[in-house]
Amino acid sequence: MSEHRRIAVVVNGTPYEAEVETRKYLAEFLREDLSLVGTHIGCEHGVCGTCTVLMNGVSVRSCLVLAVQANGAEVMTVEGLATDGQMHPLQEAFREKQGLQCGYCTPGMLVRAYELLEENPEPTAEWVREGLANNLCRCTGYQYIVEAVLAAAERLRGSSVAEGQPFEPATSSRTNQEA
């Protein structure tokens, strides 16, 4: 019952070749074969968006795409966002705005938000909400995620080269206090 095929994919800029079961999903391939466990699985039904990755620049639900379908493709996962020890502005903004709580939906959200900002660098809050509507988050109620995406957009517009800050394991810098 288990048929195998050889595939070649580029993930986060690194080329991989692997022998995979034809029925294996891309999400499992990323997590199990490549140990890229940042891509999470929420429903395995294509509904929640937790497993979102980019394939050739377009978001897909990696729980529905077979690994063999990714043959020859370029895939980007959450692990591809930070470069040289610097968080992507989206990651920084999610941190500043507390656009996450349990963090489980976060990789899918970040990847989808990345795609949204590639498409439209000057989004409105409504546009962002609509764009994120197929990625479920059970923790945040979305408000701070939307704020984070808008803040990241602004930062990305400010610098044509995405400039990140080095991430520290723990910092005590303060965000705007609301009370």
Partner 1 sequence: MVETREESAERKWVGKSIQRIEDPRLLLGRGGYIDDMRLPGMLHAALVRSPHAHARIKSVNVEAARRLPGVTAVVTGEEAAELCNPMPDFGPDPTRHEWRCLAKDKVRYVGEGVAAVVAESRAVAEDACDLVEVEYEPLPPVVDPEAAMEPDSPLVHDALGSNIAYEKTMVFGEVDRDFEGADVVVSDHLRWHRSSGQPLETVGAIGNFDPGSGMMTIHVNSLTFTSYLFMVANTLKVPSNRLDIHPHPAGGSFGSKFWAVKVAIIAGMLAKHTGRPVKFIEDRVDNISNSDHHGSDRTYQVELAATRGGILKSLRVKVVDDYGAYIQFGVGHHGNALAQAVGPYRIGSLQYELHAVLTNKCQQGAYRGFGSEVQNWVLERMVDLMARELEMDPVELRRKNFIQPDQFPYFIPNGNLYDSGNYEGVLDKALELSDYESWREEQRRLREEEGRYVGIGICTAQERSVFSATEFWFWFDEPAAPVTSMPESVTLDVDAMGNITATLYSCAFWGNSPETMVAQLVAEEFDVEPSQVNVVYSGTNQGLPATGPGGSRFTVMIAGAVQGASKKIKDKAFKIAEHLLEAAPGDLEWSEGGVAVKGSPDRRKELSEIAMAAHLFKHSLPDEIESGLEADQVYDHPYTTMPSEDRKNLGVFYPFVGHACHIPVVEVDIETGKVSFLRYTAVHDAGTVVNPRSLNGHIIGGIAQGLGTALLEEFVYDESGQLLTSSYQDYLIPSALDVPEVVVGHHETPSPYTVHGIKGAGEGGRMMAPAAISSAIDDALRPLGVRVRELPATPERILGWIEAAQAQSSS
Chain residues binding ligand FES by CB under 6 A are: 41-44, 46-51, 61, 63, 100-106, 137-140
Question: Helix, strand or coil for residue 136?
Answer: coil
Q: Specify the residue, 55 or 139, whose C-beta has the smaller distance to ligand FES.
A: 139
Q: Does 178 bind partner 1 (CB under 8 A)?
A: yes
CA dist 12 and 117 (Å) reads 18
Q: Specify the residue, 23 or 157, whose C-beta has the smaller distance to partner 1.
A: 23
Residues 75 and 12: beta-carbon distance below 8 Å: yes
Q: Specify the residue, 42 or 164, whose C-beta has the smaller distance to ligand FES.
A: 42
Choose which of 54, 75, 132, 151 interacts with partner 1 (CB under 8 A): 132
Q: Does 19 bind partner 1 (CB under 8 A)?
A: no
Tokens representing 112 are 């989808």
CA dist 98 and 103 (Å) reads 10
Tokens representing 121 are 């660098």
Residues 11 and 80: beta-carbon distance below 8 Å: yes
Q: Specify the residue, 60 or 77, whose C-beta has the smaller distance to partner 1.
A: 77
Question: Helix, strand or coil for residue 58?
Answer: strand
Binding partner of residue 160 among partner 1, ligand FES, none, CB cut-off 5 to 8 Å per kind? none
Residues 63 and 53: beta-carbon distance below 8 Å: no
Taking alpha carbons only, the member of 134, 175, 131 closest to residue 153 is: 131
Q: Does 52 bind partner 1 (CB under 8 A)?
A: no
Minimum CB separation of residue 161 from partner 1 in Å reads: 20
Q: Which secondary structure element, helix H or strand E, spans residue 151, and what is its range?
A: helix 143-158
Q: Does 22 bind partner 1 (CB under 8 A)?
A: no
Residue ranges in contact with partner 1 by CB under 8 A: 1, 21, 23-24, 31, 36-45, 47-48, 50, 77-79, 82, 87, 91, 94-96, 98, 100-107, 110, 125, 129-130, 132-146, 167-179
